[in-house]
Homo-oligomer: A and B are copies of this chain.
Amino acid sequence: MEKGPPLELVDTHLSEYSYIGGHRPTQADRAVLNAVCVPCDRSNTFPNLRRWAAHMESFTRSEMQAFPPHTESCKMDNQLSDLVNKELKVDVAAPNKSPENDKAGNHSKRTENDKDGNHSKGSQNEKGGSQSKGKGKSGKFVLKTPKGTRDYGPMEMAYRREVFNVIYSVFHMHGAVQIETPVFELKDVLTGKYGEDSKLIYDLEDQGGEILSLRYDLTVPFARYVAMNKIDNIKRYHVARVYRRDSPAMTRGRYREFYQCDFDIAGQFDAMIPDAECVQLVHQVLSKLGLGEFTIKINHRKILDGVFGSCGVPSEKFRPICSAVDKLDKSPWEEVRKEMVDEKGLDEEVADKIGNYVKLSGREELLETLANDELLKSSPSAQAGFADLKLLFQYCKSLGCAEHLVFDMGLARGLDYYTGVIYEAVLTAGQNFGEEGPVGSVAGGGRYDGLVGMFDPKKKTVPCVGLSFGIERLFTIYEQKMRAESNKVRATQTEVFVVTACKGMVHERLKLLGLLHEAGIKAEGSYKNNPKILNQLQYAEDNKIPLVALIGESEVEAGVVKIRDTVTREETTIKREELVETVRQKLGGL
């Protein structure tokens, strides 16, 4: 590899843009990362370059391969631009460098097919890059989706449908109902619910009328719905996108618009029965998706509060200290301790005491041990928490979902509104599908008994417990898994492609399509009057359509149809009136 551009040049570029290609990662980032040598000393030179390189390390190789193509959508120094183009050419020529892209579509057949009026499902540029083209370097018109958002193409939607179907089936197994709330709420509804994160809320422009904000999650709208409709109890699910003006936008799948997939149980019930159902549900969804080993970590806000109180944290600092503990899954204890002492003004001694507890994790025996701990024995809060978790363990055993349960004293969950049990599911076998280690949290939740009361004029509350799947992460992992297993997920479900063998057959083709559709069979044909037969057959193969129904003049005259198996290329001639039945038989046997 030749020497890359001077580091200054890249650093300067990155002082203006988050990525080489602008504000989204593209193949240009891979190209430059290949070409430059980022200094590994600990000085402060080239801060933008270092920040960018560190961020790039957060992507797996396959995630990088899936970056959208480079397009010249931001101003770029000529030397940098030349480097990118040169590197990318090398990249394209090298074999097996982008397995995902190879699978994504049928580009080589594309032009040919287009000529004959087949449609190629928009497979080009499937990853739905946020930007694609502009008026060139000097122009102002850049065609893109808003920062932090993206389009989802046909293949991605097909994977999503599969993941959603699994999750919906589990929700229905538990008798959950579905509700839907507006994408925006009165700003007042969201105010005071998210603490520091309130600054991430998208507001709508005041166009004369109410002051509105886009929802930040589905939990607060749910609490508003329960309070507003005076509902005493409900078990509901809600799947929808939420909005956060997070910055930087694009770290490893973190978008400003993303799906949440929530299941909650509201109502005054006996201790831990609904809570255990939530744990069971996480267990079932992750098992059914088959993404490998996972752990469900549990803890209890009352235990944390008990620990904080017993260690000498003043009660007004419980939540800030809790949010420091929450960072333990990403940062080492030393850093968390530093935040407690330096930023949150805790005595070093108190912090160290907390440290002794929050590093602990285990199963039921740890619960026993800690319940008899000298310091915690006298904390009613901690004891209440231990009693809950012991019961939860027992219920989960009866439900058959206790095996993955781990009592983790370091689990804190970020949100302020939790009041009881909290849990978080972590995949531990992410390395099967990506090059990196554990992919982290894929579901989380807990009990929040006070939120509905915040919306009730008389502060009457309805206790709630619920969970949210990190559905965007599940999509990515599921897609990687399916690709790794070479599973055939198709963007369409077409079963039969109707092919005409000679000219002037458009009406015959349409009649056959009408016949198949009438019978409920998924069938397509070319949009050309006189498409070439080979192109039609090729289209069926490229799009993995299992059967072809072929007619020419002689077939029409004789009242027969040729059925061709796309994989074996075996052909059989049948009577037209047997078509539907034959197709059904053949599809049933596939």
Contact = CB atoms under 8 A, between A and B. Distances in A.
Interface in A107-133: 110, 114, 117-122, 124-125, 128-129, 131-133
A493 B395 CA distance: 24
A417 interface: no
A349 interface: no
A104 B205 CA distance: 38
Interface stretch (A226-234, A298-306, A370-378): A226-234
Nearest to A493: B172
Given A114-B267, A270-B527, A184 B149 contact: yes
Contacts of A119: 233-235, 265-267
A147 B524 contact: no
A544 B35 CA distance: 66
The number of times this chain is found in the oligomer is 2
Contacts of A178: 154, 157-158, 161, 491
Contacts of A528: 269-270, 273
A132 B230 CA distance: 8
A376 to B, nearest CB: 27
B177 A492 contact: yes
Nearest to A119: B233
A129 B229 contact: yes
A120 B175 contact: no
Contact of A177 (B122, B400, B522): B122
A297 interface: no
Contact of A236 (B122, B132, B206): B122
A139 interface: yes
Given A182-B145, A204-B205, A206-B205, A510 B398 contact: yes
Contacts of A241: 183
A202 interface: yes
B122 A151 contact: no
Interface size class of A (residues with CB under 8 A): 35 or more
Contact of A157 (B179, B207, B245): B179
Contacts of A284: 517
A121 B177 contact: yes
Interface in A284-330: 284
A210 B146 contact: yes
A229 B124 contact: yes
A172 B522 contact: yes
A270 B524 contact: no
A225 interface: yes
A364 interface: no
A157 B225 CA distance: 15
A455 B401 contact: no
A121 B234 contact: yes
Nearest to A517: B173
Given A151-B179, A173-B517, A230-B132, A203 B202 contact: no
A302 B383 CA distance: 79
Given A143-B455, A202-B204, A231 B267 contact: no
Given A143-B227, A241-B183, A492-B172, A154 B236 contact: yes
Nearest to A212: B146
A466 to B, nearest CB: 13
Interface in A228-263: 228-236, 241, 243, 245, 257
A160 to B, nearest CB: 8
Contact of A507 (B202, B228, B229, B398): B398
Interface string A324-350: 000000000000000000000000000
Contacts of A202: 204-205, 207
14 contacts: A122-B236, A124-B232, A128-B229, A144-B228, A154-B177, A173-B520, A182-B257, A204-B204, A265-B527, A270-B529, A273-B506, A394-B507, A398-B507, A401-B514
